């Protein structure tokens, strides 16, 4: 029998402290619930950080994966390619925004998708620079880390960033950054720091994930599209957290009616199996020379089988509509709660990507990271798994699987309500 206390001791003895974990060890999981080593059941509002949009162990995902395992598990796509990769590329080319010719390449993780999107944009434009935004999160590789707009814990102590990365402010109303000022600062960046003709790409999360579920205003995204067109810059939408139905559309940028040149997807794409995709304008995607893109595990047949099942489930179970319903129910609860709890400084999000921000004082909006940590711990003690986020670690993000039943959703929201009322 495994016990959490001894597993925690072993964890600290054999895994580096930089790999932070929650204080529980899972033994099994099903749809929107998981169980720990002590037999405790939790409602899962983390979904493996926005991965399990189709829930833990969706039967159709499991079936697709086990069928694939009967055939082959790995050949390396470069050595012996397979049709399922092509079919997934065709599906993503058709499903992503934009009516132009598109191509897709597959990799394994979100950071790898971001790395490749930037490589492709640099290769297509023959330009070096990339603009990302404050509060952004694009992964933990050297380039992903450089593009990320938050120092601690993602960049602190990890040395100097690769050259050519610039940050502009994200229009974040809770931090007093209006859209107009954000655009002015971006123009100033073009005057003071980097000429737009040297910029290969602008990369933006249409809804920032780790940065605090900040929704980019549609007009801001349209303005970026305009600047990208004006200066021949590749616009990359990083939809690794916001994609695959989470916000009520397959991709969050569709809410703004803006078409990026490249789009990255990962997390929810393969229902718990590692797979990521870069999809975009064929003329841009085709710029790299043969052999310049790919990898040993890039486009695992297991991940691809899972992704086909995920896309079928998203369609057949109408998970985009479901995401909107989950969002409405969550929003109702959070709005009621905010009337009674002054520590709730803001509620924001789209669809089933909702968050609440905790502050010391609504007028000054001073972040309350300590209270946020207390709420997350209290909820876990009551049987609900929550994640915090935000540049000041004072945002609680809600990411239930889109397949969650009404009753488990209600149960999770009730625990959230009780925890906030008890602790705030």
Binding site for ligand PLP (CB under 6 A): 49, 109-111, 114, 137-139, 205, 209-210, 238, 240-241, 266
**Minimum distance from residue 205 beta carbon to ligand PLP (Å):** 5
Among residues 49 and 76, whose Cβ is nearest to ligand PLP?
Answer: 49
Close Cβ partners of 219 (under 8 Å, ≥ 6 residues apart): 179
Report how far residue 277's alpha carbon sits from residue 92's, in angstroms, rounded to the nearest whole number.
Answer: 9
User: In this complex, which beta carbon is closest to ligand PLP, that of residue 46 or of residue 266?
Assistant: 266
Shortest distance, CB of residue 241 to ligand PLP, whole angstroms? 4
Minimum distance, C-beta of residue 169 to ligand PLP, in the bound complex (Å): 18
CB 414, min distance to ligand PLP, A: 28
**Secondary structure tally for the chain: helices H, strands E:** 13, 16
Comparing CB distances to ligand PLP, the nearer of 109 and 372 is: 109
Q: Minimum CB separation from ligand PLP for residue 420, in Å?
A: 25
In this structure, are residues 132 and 189 in contact, taking their beta carbons and an 8 Å threshold?
no
User: Exposure of 344 by Cβ count < 10 A (0-12 exposed, 13-18 middle, 19+ buried)?
Assistant: buried
Query: What residue is closest to ligand PLP based on CB?
Result: 110
The minimum distance between CB 264 and ligand PLP, in angstroms, equals: 7
Residues with Cβ within 8 Å of residue 195, at least 6 apart in sequence: none
- Residue with Cβ nearer ligand PLP (209 or 248): 209
The alpha-helical segments, DSSP class H, found in 44-172 are: 47-50, 59-71, 83-95, 110-125, 142-147
- Measured from the CB atom, the residue of 136 and 424 that comes closer to ligand PLP is 136
Cβ at position 136, least distance to ligand PLP in Å = 8
If you search the block for the tokens 């916000």, which residue do you land on? Answer: 247
Give the nearer residue to ligand PLP in terms of CB position, either 164 or 243: 243
Shortest distance, CB of residue 147 to ligand PLP, whole angstroms? 9
Contact indicator for 345, 362 with CB cutoff of 8 Å: yes
Q: What is the Cα 418 distance to its own chain's centre?
A: 27
Chain-centre distance for alpha carbon 169: 19
Question: Residue 75 has what DSSP assignment?
Answer: -
Provide the minimum distance between the beta carbon of 65 and ligand PLP in the complex, in angstroms, as a whole number.
19
Q: Is 34 helix (H, G, I), strand (E, B) or coil?
A: strand
- Residue 404 near residue 378 (C-beta atoms within 8 A): no
Per-position DSSP letters for 313-327, written without gaps between them? HHHHTTHHHHHHHHH
Pick 102 or 138: Cβ nearer ligand PLP: 138
235 pairs with which residues across the strands?
202
CB 238 within 8 Å of CB 209: no
| Nearest residue (CB) to ligand PLP, 333 versus 350 | 350
DSSP run (H or E) holding 375 = helix 369-382
Q: Which is nearer to ligand PLP, 85 or 137 (CB)?
A: 137
In the block, residue with structure tokens 């809600």: 398
Task: Give the rounded distance of the alpha carbon of 143 from its chain centre.
Answer: 17
Residues 5 and 37: beta-carbon distance below 8 Å: no
């Amino acid at each position: 029998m495994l016990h959490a206390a001894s597993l925690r001791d072993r964890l600290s003895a054999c895994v580096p402290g930089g790999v932070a974990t929650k204080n529980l060890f899972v033994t099994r999981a099903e749809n929107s619930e998981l169980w720990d080593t002590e037999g405790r059941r939790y409602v899962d509002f983390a979904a493996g950080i926005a991965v399990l949009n189709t829930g833990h162990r969706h039967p159709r995902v499991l079936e697709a994966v086990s069928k694939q395992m009967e055939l082959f598990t790995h050949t390396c796509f470069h050595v012996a390619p397979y049709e399922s990769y092509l079919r997934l590329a065709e599906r993503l080319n058709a499903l992503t925004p934009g009516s132009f010719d598109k191509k897709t390449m597959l990799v394994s993780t979100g950071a790898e998708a971001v790395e490749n999107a930037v490589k492709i944009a640099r290769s297509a434009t023959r330009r070096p620079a990339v603009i990302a935004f404050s509060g952004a999160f694009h992964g933990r590789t050297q380039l992903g880390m450089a593009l990320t707009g938050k120092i601690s814990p993602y960049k602190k102590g990890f040395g100097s960033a690769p050259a050519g990365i610039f940050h502009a402010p994200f229009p974040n109303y809770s931090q007093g950054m209006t859209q107009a000022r954000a655009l002015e600062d971006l123009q100033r960046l073009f005057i003071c720091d980097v000429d737009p003709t040297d910029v290969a790409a602008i990369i933006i999360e249409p809804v920032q994930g780790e940065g605090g579920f900040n929704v980019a205003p549609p007009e801001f995204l349209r303005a970026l599209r305009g600047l990208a067109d004006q200066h021949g810059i590749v616009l990359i939408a990083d939809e690794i957290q916001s994609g695959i139905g989470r916000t009520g559309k397959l991709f969050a940028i569709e809410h703004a009616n803006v078409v990026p040149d490249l789009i990255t997807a990962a997390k929810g794409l393969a229902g718990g199996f590692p797979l990521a995709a870069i999809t975009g304008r064929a003329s841009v995607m085709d710029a790299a020379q043969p052999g310049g893109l790919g990898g040993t595990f890039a486009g695992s047949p297991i991940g691809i089988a899972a992704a086909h099942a995920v896309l079928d489930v998203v369609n057949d179970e109408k998970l985009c509509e479901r995401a909107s319903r989950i969002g409405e129910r969550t929003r109702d609860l959070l709005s009621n709660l905010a009337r009674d709890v002054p520590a709730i400084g803001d509620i924001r999000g789209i669809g089933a990507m909702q968050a609440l921000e905790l502050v010391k004082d609504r007028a000054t909006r001073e972040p309350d990271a300590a209270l946020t940590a207390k709420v997350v711990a209290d909820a876990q003690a009551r049987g609900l798994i929550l994640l915090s986020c935000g540049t000041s670690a004072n945002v609680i993000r809600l990411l239930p699987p889109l397949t969650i039943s009404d009753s488990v959703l209600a149960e999770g929201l009730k625990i959230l309500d009780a925890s906030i009322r008890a602790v705030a």
